[in-house]
Amino acid sequence: MTLLLLCVAALLALGAAGAARARHPDGTAVVYGGSLALCIIAGLVGLLHLGAAPQTGVLPLGLPWIGARFRIDALAAFFLVVVGLGGGGASLYALGYGRHETVPERVLPFFPPFLAGLILVVIADDAFSFLFAWELMSLASWALVVAHHHDAENTRAGTIYLLLASLSGLALLLALGMLAGPAGNFAFAAIRAAPPSPLGGLVLMLALLGAGSKAGLVPLHAWLPLAHPAAPSHVSALMSGVMTKVAVYAFIRIVFDLLGPPAWWSGVVVLALGGVTAVLGMLYALMQHDLKRLLAYSTVENIGIIFIGLGLAMAFRANGFAAGAALALTAALFHVLNHALFKSLLFFGAGAVLSATGERDTEHLGGLIHRMPRTAFAVLTGCAAIAALPPLNGFVSEWLTFQAILLRPDLPQWGLKVMIPTDGALLALAAALAAACFVRAFGITFLGRPRTAAAALAGEVDRFSLAAMLGMGLLCLLAGLFPGVVIDTLAPLMQALLGARMPAQLGLPWLSIIPVEAARSSYNGWLIFVFIAAATTLTILAIHRFASRAVRRAPAWDCGFPDPRPVTQYTAESFAQPIRRVFGSVVFRAHEVVLMPPPGDTGPARIRRSLRDPIWDALYAPVGHWITRAADVMNVLQFLTIRRYLGFVFIALVALLLVLALWQ
């Protein structure tokens, strides 16, 4: 515990050093190099405590009667590993990417405190420390989002993010206050020891509101597609890959640890939100041209998958089915780790493309596989992982979630009988849409011919960025080849939260995993990898052995319209058009007009489209409109005379006295 608190203090000191040496040539190396070392230490501390007994510590700070309490148990240790991996990867990437930062004085002072806030949230063991760390995390990340505040869109993104972060903090404040009760037992140990709160349902809703708005649950996801493109790429990776998982940690800590046994209907609520979030997130991602906005919406989809697993665990736990709850929660936490790995990798790739070309719009890219082959290989690995293709890690966690869905469809409550199969269908649809989305993203960005001069002149990025991307890609492969290691590592956590765990996996032959029993299902990523490698090798050998050595060149098939311009290639717009026409009128209020070229012009037809976000139009826009109107009405209060101010004070005093008189 002492080592972790020293890491937090060192990160805060690094923030001060970043403010002092932001414009100095060695400022980037000092801040990001120090952050990398401290994240490695934090991750190793978490790894060493995964199966160990909980450790606690108290600092004489915070509330006077309890101080600032900290604790490392199995749950905190796992998320420390996630923070260490994500923060370390982002810091390594930033050692190269950060050299291109135009305003380092607005990024370097806030990056280490952001990491410090993430660590403090995970190890906080009382409500005051938790909320203080939560606000530190939110404010530091907000400062990073508005680093390039000269752009009006970035300022708008920062404003919306700050509003939803404030809502998140308020909801968690109320939830923890209700758990503390009238006695004010703000220490988590006292909350655990107290009887279950009679307001458990309201606490659950507040936890969903507070953690869900930070994680990106629909309809609380509005900040993600705005903030992620605004922030620097390594910050986007940290926000998407780690901060949203810390929000998942907050939900698990409150619901599975502090609140007590859940009611069955709570599983229905979480399942419904998770399923809708998974599908809508990926549908929105498919419509995007901006790489970072696409990845932001993909984060929404993956948060939905995680909450499907959490909802299943809550439903099974409420029905006394501990083994099923352990499987579902293991799947959710496995996906937490997986998403931290492949989403960080993909944001690093988007940053590399932006650094090399100055473009984030896929319609202005193309052909980068020839100019950035190492980056293309790393991004292809991340795309395959997030599309849940074996033998990479994304497949394993989604497959485990499907196994949990199929495990117990005969629960007694009709809400669960309907919701669990429905979520199975929604999860399958989201997985198919994810495959289409990332085939589109990689193909339009890296394959074909360059669509602009910037893409044609691109070059490979620096070695730090490549090391971060290839390292994350290697971890995606290892987690997919050896999932039994992750499952067994999570076993002490399952035992602590649920009193049950999945069967041990490391003793099974051929490195297979069997979630329940061999007769039902099993998976072996290593055998799939060997088969793919062998088939690829044999195909290459056969081609080189039997194919002709003569080089033959011919024009590409042009459908009868010989036009060599890159504009005739398949575009991101045309790739998404069939899905937009199926779902667009319902989900996006899509409207499109086809603009045909004049007679004699062999150029392609153009499509002018418009997409609306119904959630924004129905929820956020009206609230913003009424707040603006109320502010305009109340603005006159600034210009009253002193006599009227005194009159208002007198009226308020009389009203307060009347209330007290009636109360007595």
CB atoms within 10 A of CB 221: 26
pTM for the whole structure:
0.91
Q: What's the pLDDT band for 556 if we cut at 50, 70, 90?
A: low
> Percentage of residues in the chain with pLDDT exceeding 70?
94
* Best CA proximity match to 288, nearest among 352, 224, 331: 224
Question: What value does the mean pLDDT take over residues 417-443?
Answer: 92
End-to-end CA distance of the chain: 50
Identify the pLDDT of residue 409.
Answer: 66
> Percentage of residues in the chain with pLDDT exceeding 90?
52
Q: Among 211-225, 308-322, 519-533, name the one with the lowest average pLDDT.
A: 519-533
Identify the pLDDT of residue 287.
Answer: 86
Identify the pLDDT of residue 541.
Answer: 87
Q: What's the pLDDT band for 130 if we cut at 50, 70, 90?
A: very high
Quote helix, strand, coil % in the chain, to nearest 5: 70, 5, 25
Q: What's the pLDDT band for 596 if we cut at 50, 70, 90?
A: confident
Q: What's the pLDDT band for 59 if we cut at 50, 70, 90?
A: confident
Q: What's the pLDDT band for 514 if we cut at 50, 70, 90?
A: confident
Question: What value does the mean pLDDT take over residues 430-439?
Answer: 92
CB 229, CB 296: distance < 8 Å: yes
Question: What value does the mean pLDDT take over residues 188-203?
Answer: 86
Q: What's the pLDDT band for 306 if we cut at 50, 70, 90?
A: very high
Identify the pLDDT of residue 329.
Answer: 95
Question: What value does the mean pLDDT take over residues 427-438?
Answer: 93
Identify the pLDDT of residue 433.
Answer: 92
Exposed e or buried b for every residue in 263-280, given b needs 16+ CB within 10 A? ebbbbbbbbbbbbbbbbb
Whether the predicted pLDDT of 448 surpasses 90: no
Q: What's the pLDDT band for 98 if we cut at 50, 70, 90?
A: confident
Using CA atoms, how far apart are residues 51 and 72, in angstroms rounded to an integer? 11
Identify the pLDDT of residue 583.
Answer: 76
Whether the predicted pLDDT of 580 surpasses 80: no
Pair of tokens at residue 653: 């005093």
CB 29, CB 462: distance < 8 Å: no
Whether the predicted pLDDT of 134 surpasses 90: yes
* Best CA proximity match to 372, nearest among 315, 292, 468, 456: 456
Whether the predicted pLDDT of 645 surpasses 70: yes
Q: Among 138-142, 283-287, 506-510, name the one with the lowest average pLDDT.
A: 506-510
Q: Say which residue the tokens 């609306």 belong to.
A: 612
Helix (H, G, I), strand (E, B) or coil at 607: strand
Using CA atoms, how far apart are residues 258 and 211, in angstroms rounded to an integer? 15
**DSSP states of 385-404 as a string?**
HHTT-TTSHHHHHHHHHHHH
More confident call, 119 vs 505: 119
Whether the predicted pLDDT of 420 surpasses 70: yes
pLDDT digits (tens, 9 = 90+) for 617-628: 788 888 888 888
Whether the predicted pLDDT of 362 surpasses 80: yes
Using CA atoms, how far apart are residues 50 and 346, in angstroms rounded to an integer? 28
Pair of tokens at residue 390: 């074996």
Q: Among 24-33, 85-94, 181-190, 442-451, name the one with the lowest average pLDDT.
A: 181-190
CB 426, CB 60: distance < 8 Å: no
More confident call, 549 vs 3: 3
CB 381, CB 470: distance < 8 Å: no
* Best CA proximity match to 365, nearest among 384, 386, 350: 350
* Best CA proximity match to 569, nearest among 427, 313, 365: 365
Q: Say which residue the tokens 């995993």 belong to.
A: 513
Average pLDDT, the chain: 88
More confident call, 434 vs 638: 434
pLDDT digits (tens, 9 = 90+) for 109-125: 999 999 999 999 999 99
Using CA atoms, how far apart are residues 9 and 354, in angstroms rounded to an integer? 33
Whether the predicted pLDDT of 369 surpasses 80: yes
Question: What value does the mean pLDDT take over residues 653-664?
Answer: 85
CB 228, CB 287: distance < 8 Å: no
Half-sphere exposure of 237 (CA within 13 A, CB side): 32
Whether the predicted pLDDT of 408 surpasses 80: no
Whether the predicted pLDDT of 564 surpasses 70: no
Mention every residue, 6+ apart, whose C-beta is less than 8 A from residue 470. 374, 377, 378
Q: What's the pLDDT band for 660 if we cut at 50, 70, 90?
A: confident
Q: What's the pLDDT band for 562 if we cut at 50, 70, 90?
A: low
More confident call, 518 vs 405: 405
Whether the predicted pLDDT of 183 surpasses 90: no
* Best CA proximity match to 112, nearest among 24, 39, 22: 39
pLDDT digits (tens, 9 = 90+) for 231-286: 999 999 999 999 999 999 999 999 998 888 888 899 999 999 999 999 999 998 98
What residue type is 269 in one-letter code? V
Count helices and strands (H / E) in the chain.
27, 4
Whether the predicted pLDDT of 83 surpasses 80: yes
pLDDT digits (tens, 9 = 90+) for 1-51: 789 999 999 999 999 998 888 788 788 899 999 999 999 999 999 999 988
Whether the predicted pLDDT of 519 surpasses 80: no
pLDDT digits (tens, 9 = 90+) for 599-639: 877 666 666 666 777 788 788 888 888 888 888 888 877 77
CB 311, CB 284: distance < 8 Å: no
